[in-house]
A and B are shown apart, each in its own frame.
Chain A
Amino acid sequence: MQLRLTQALDFQSQALQLRSERQRLIASNIANADTPGYQAREMDFARALREATGAQAVAGEMATSNPQHMAPVAGARDEAELLYASHSQDSVDRNTVDLERERHSAVENAVKYEATLRFINSSVRNMLDAMKGPNQG
């Protein structure tokens, strides 16, 4: 039963972890906005979340083709696979950071991070309410 109780939090905590990884990625891109030759990085968030929650096999993971093979643990993954952002304009110093897009993603990611925090907070509150006796208000 305890497993069922925390299962609701599992998904959101994986999402939170990925959001913070993405935030760091965006910070790196903004930090390197003036570095010659820097290629902007981006992650496929939906895919990374599916991999983290075990809904999709991690790229490069071993397959279980025989019943005697050990199945990989769900969510066993390293950091999300990083992609290169496609750039909208060429620049002379081969830097591909699009500052407007990065700032937009930074704000979007921060809001979604906070949303995930609220989801976790509300499910914790729900659980605590459920644990309270009828006389405890």
Chain B
Amino acid sequence: MHHMVEGPRTALLAQLRRGTLEYCVLALLDGGERYGLDLVRQLGQVEGMMTSEGTVYPLLSRLRRDGLVATTWRESPSGPPRRYYQLTSDGRQALDAFAKEWASFRDAVDHFLDAGGDHDEHDRG
């Protein structure tokens, strides 16, 4: 029920996700610590953010190894103890830097996407 059709769109999304999904994770943690399942569900609410829920965990491990995210084990009010993920100060810096780059990158892409129509008019005029 969660399978995507393999094809150009999947490949395109994979390309777009590469390098951006981790910042979405950092952004989610900017609002406070979260446990794995919670994070995965938040990401899953927006279609196209991840290939499958399980692929978020290798990403979280990587962020932890890179020092952008820290983990703590804690008893949970219900169920087994959970691993909570928190943003570190390095993580916050990385997120801020990305947010700036992303804004100008998005504007640059929009510039060309929006300018597409104008160009044709000039050519024919």
Q: Do A and B bind each other?
A: no
